[in-house]
Amino acid sequence: MDLRTTRNIGIMAHIDAGKTTTTERILYYSGKTYKIGEVDDGEATMDWMDQEQERGITIQSAATTTFWRSHQINIIDTPGHVDFTAEVERSLRVLDGAIAVFSAVDGVEPQSETVWPQADRYHVPRLAYVNKMDRLGSDFDAVLEDMRKKLGARPVAINAPIGAGASFEGIIDLLAMEELRFSEDGHEIERSPLAPERRAEANARREALIDAVAEGSDEITELFLSGAEVPVELIRRELRKACIERRLVPALCGASRRNVGVQPLLDAVVDYLPAPDEAPPARAFHPKKEEEVEVPCASSGYPLGLVFKVQYDREAGPLCYVRMYSGSLKNASVVFNATKRKRERITRLLRMHANKSEPVDVVEAGDIAVIVGMKLAQTGDTVGTEGWPVLLEKMHFPEPVITVAIEPETLSDREKLQETLEILSKEDPTFTSRENEETGQLVISGMGELHLDVLVTRIVRDFKIKAKIGNPQVSYRESISRPAERRERFEKMIAGKVNAAGLTIAVEPRKRGEGNLYEKALRAPQVPEEIFEAIERGINGAFAGGIQYGYPAVDIGVKLIGIDYDELTATPFAFEACANMAYDAACREAGPVLLEPIMKVDIATPKEFLGEAMSLVSQRGGVIHGSESKAASETIHAEAPLEAMFGFTTSLRSVTQGRASFSMEFSHFEPKRA
């Protein structure tokens, strides 16, 4: 595989902006598929799950490979609904570039505001594609302005629309200064010189493009100031550099549903997005040397890859999606899971096309492929060789905020259900399950009502388990409001031997969102390391058990400040139990508080129902932060407790005659109101 002619890209956007429709056209025009699969007909290649076809939305990210201008393009189509943010997160973690799709009518929508910082966090260069230019109310320049205001991005147009809405008829290539018109099936592209009435606008746009690129190029600045013609290849080269350095976002427009503008988008992927070895080196941690190392993307290095997704297949077992950062892995070889510190055998290597696959003999640096045969691997695990056991940077996933109880109808189904829940939680890091100790009920947690609805449907339909499902409940958290200290002693006779431990800990509240932290704040060289490991296990285990109500504890700092150690009676078991007891007692003295999830709510409503929609949010204890006007609608930005938002869809439809819609995502936890 030639690294220079490879592109690993993702397609990301708000729901209904046209990601999957655009991906279908990319596959069709690049020759990967022989017909276009339409989302509305339930025939999209990339939406292969039954539920995706029924609901008309993308639920799981799907990977495929195609070719354009002798370049291999590995594509991941990601979901647009906020409940499936984890799918976007793990895809962006392994990509070198991305296409952000925006609706020309709606501009920057809430999910785009969520995924843009995710892409920033992983330093992913982007192209912007303004889709749906044929829709009433479309406005290319308004979308670019929206990107500047809401995302802090610097989009620069490299093509521009000819007309808008019903009069949209093609695009202007601002580098070649030509008009492009597309045949009905999109295969034929007719290029023609600029019409006189469009020349002034095109010249102004091209000047803005050169001006933006010139900021990082002395060569272009000199040519520009001297009034000389700037060669197209020089603009392209400098724009590519600015895009890879994330100083500029090349912006294109089109109407994917009408087959307009997709080939120029593919050209832009090849021209401006980085090859794997042009992206910044991956960062990894060497546990033995306790230092960070950089991993350049090269086929000659040690093998190193990241498992970014696990998908269960009924026949093959776990399919581990891997992005290779260095070296290569061969079929039927042994791979070392550096996270689990275990060896596993590769039985097959596959290249995926949605839910179909083709076998390959080797995967190299820059490749995205599937390993079959690894039983222990989970999302975020690093795989490679024992000779270089480094760990790649892990991914960040949001906390689940909504729960439902699930009860199998028969005893034989219970075991099967627990196995299924284990499989699903391996597949999806934002899905968790636990047994309620008081009621014995199995409780599952996820990111929202749609997320849990999809998973429950899979449990019942795909895994054929008969189960009763409870009503959705809020998943609360617990924390503390003031510092406290606790000295604890544990002593127990087990099998005729005394197990004893003593320690002192201090607990304190941390800033909201900082997470839990355990640290050892004393030196005790006479105490074996296994005792300190047992204390850490006890504290970390206690975090999950809550304080008063059994909800997971968050944002608590715990320091070990004293230890009573007697080598005759000390055991790891005693210190683990003692740490658990000390934590529990200290937190009860530290002003425990119950935290509820607060959601960021965005409501799109026709202007005439603005008052009713705002009133509905206020009645539910929500706080309105403002609203913004768009061509045909008004968008309300608010925050509200999750508990108050159950059944909101029905109420909103009722007061707006079914014409408003809303999206909701987790914002933060705060103390529950009385």
Q: Rounded distance, CA 582 to CA 146, Å?
A: 52
pLDDT at 525: 85
- Please tell us whether the domain made up of 402-475 is placed in CATH 3.20.20.210: no
pLDDT at 125: 96
pLDDT at 632: 66
Mean pLDDT in residue range 579-598? 94
Q: What is the pTM of this model?
A: 0.77
Cα 559–Cα 565–Cα 568 angle in degrees, nearest 5: 155
Mean pLDDT in residue range 287-294? 84
- Candidates 3.40.50.300, 3.30.565.10, 2.60.120.10, 3.30.70.240; CATH matching 595-671: 3.30.70.240
Confidence of residue 48 (pLDDT cuts 50, 70, 90): very low
The yes-or-no verdict on residue 238 having pLDDT over 80 is yes
Strand partners, 336: 343, 384
Mean pLDDT in residue range 24-38? 81
Distances 271 to 248, 256, 513, 592 between C-alpha atoms, Å: 14, 20, 40, 56
pLDDT at 325: 94
Q: Domain extents for the chain?
A: 3-195+250-272, 282-392, 402-475, 482-590, 595-671
- What region does 482 belong to: left with phi over 0, alpha with psi -120 to 50, or beta? beta
- pLDDT above 90 covers a percentage of the chain that reads 48
Strand partners, 189: 182
> CATH topology of 402-475 equal to that of 482-590?
no
How do residues 303-358 score in pLDDT, each as one tens digit?
Answer: 999 998 888 887 888 889 999 999 999 988 999 999 888 999 999 999 877 667 88
Please give the full DSSP string across 238-255, using - where no structure is assigned. HHHHHHHTTS-EEEEE-B
- Candidates 3.40.640.10, 3.30.230.10, 3.40.430.10, 1.10.3720.10; CATH matching 482-590: 3.30.230.10
pLDDT at 438: 61
Confidence of residue 205 (pLDDT cuts 50, 70, 90): very high
Regarding the domain delimited by 3-195+250-272, which CATH topology (the fold level of the hierarchy) does it fall under? Rossmann fold (3.40.50)
Tell me which of 85-94, 457-466, 496-505, 597-606 is least confident: 85-94
Please, are residues 159 and 201 in contact by the beta-carbon 8 Å criterion?
A: no
pLDDT at 42: 47
How do residues 50-88 score in pLDDT, each as one tens digit?
Answer: 554 565 555 566 788 899 999 999 998 877 666 677 778
Class (C level, CATH) for 282-392: mainly beta
SS3 assignment, position 346:
coil
Q: Mean pLDDT: which of 156-160, 398-402, 476-480, 620-624 is highest?
A: 156-160
